[in-house]
Amino acid sequence: MKIGINVWSYPKGLELEKIVVKTKEIGYQGIELAIALEDIELDRSAFKERWSKVKDLVASYNLEVPSIATGLFWRFNPIDVNNLDKALKVVELECIAASILGARTILVVPGSAISDLSYEEHYRRAIEFLRKASDIAKDYGIVIGVENVWNRVFGAPYDFYKLVTEVGRENVKAYLDVGNTLPHSIPEHWIDVLGRELIAQIHVKDFSVAELKFGIPLTGDVNWHAVARRLRAIGYDGYVVAEVPPYRGDPFKAAEDTYTSLRKIFG
């Protein structure tokens, strides 16, 4: 398995070059970058120019970009029909950035719960969105990694399995976030249910059930030895990408501590 880190693991506003330099210095093999709101406001030419410069920066430090993430699906909930077109635009921008950077996977959130909709309608709308997103991603040769998040829907491993399999597209898989499974379930069960065929990539962070707080791996309640054992058992050999909260007192220490933990867990 390769060890990477998400750009959100560093403080917001920190210069990207400083992040890239430190990521390489710590020892990570890859960095997951993210599409932000300002990217949507760029025209297509300016967007490509921006991400081409990012490609040159990352390549100059010999880092891989395994995937592209975004937080914009919380802003443009694809379950809400009024946001569907905007959500699909975000998917396309992720795909363009991924193709420029040589990333294989994009992170997609399958929407968040709406009180007035039935559970079945959430499935129907999420599947419709993901099939349309699949068509976009297929043109770029990109895999959609559907992330399990605290969105109050699709919150159990079999629920998520049903969602991904009913989409029925080879390029739509699960982006399993180990820490996001707690406190309502455990990641080992998610790994067992989804299996190697349906897991595109892995996000890693810990979670303390007592404090209801995310943290550095080995500081919470995730059974990391079981997680590593299960991933090896299904033959997963891709990236494990850290997505951890940075420390307030130092912009890089959380990334450093996370790397130490992940080397201990995954070897």
pLDDT band at 89 (very low <50, low <70, confident <90, very high): very high
Can you give the pLDDT at residue 210? 97
pLDDT tens, residue by residue, 186-203: 999 999 999 999 999 999
168 phi-psi bin (left φ>0, alpha ψ -120 to 50, beta other): left
Taking the CA atoms of residue 20, residue 22, residue 24 and residue 29 in that order, the dihedral angle to the nearest 10 degrees is -80
pLDDT band at 239 (very low <50, low <70, confident <90, very high): very high
pLDDT tens, residue by residue, 201-216: 999 999 999 999 999 9
Burial class (CB in 10 A: 0-12, 13-18, 19+), 260: middle
pLDDT tens, residue by residue, 144-159: 999 999 999 999 999 9
Taking the CA atoms of residue 75, residue 81, residue 82 and residue 83 in that order, the dihedral angle to the nearest 10 degrees is 30
pLDDT band at 230 (very low <50, low <70, confident <90, very high): very high
> Are the C-beta atoms of 243 and 31 separated by less than 8 Å?
no
Residue from 3, 13, 30, 5 nearest 251 by CA: 13
What does the DSSP assignment read for 223-254?
A: -HHHHHHHHHHTT--SEEEE--PPPSS-TTHH
Taking the CA atoms of residue 16, residue 22, residue 25 and residue 31 in that order, the dihedral angle to the nearest 10 degrees is -50
Q: Global pTM?
A: 0.97
Q: Which residues pair with 31 in a beta bridge?
A: 5
Which two structure tokens, joined as six digits, stand for 102? 């040589």
pLDDT band at 251 (very low <50, low <70, confident <90, very high): very high
Can you give the pLDDT at residue 197? 97
**Does domain 2-266 bear CATH number 3.40.50.11810?**
no
Report the pLDDT averaged over residues 117-128: 98
Burial class (CB in 10 A: 0-12, 13-18, 19+), 132: middle
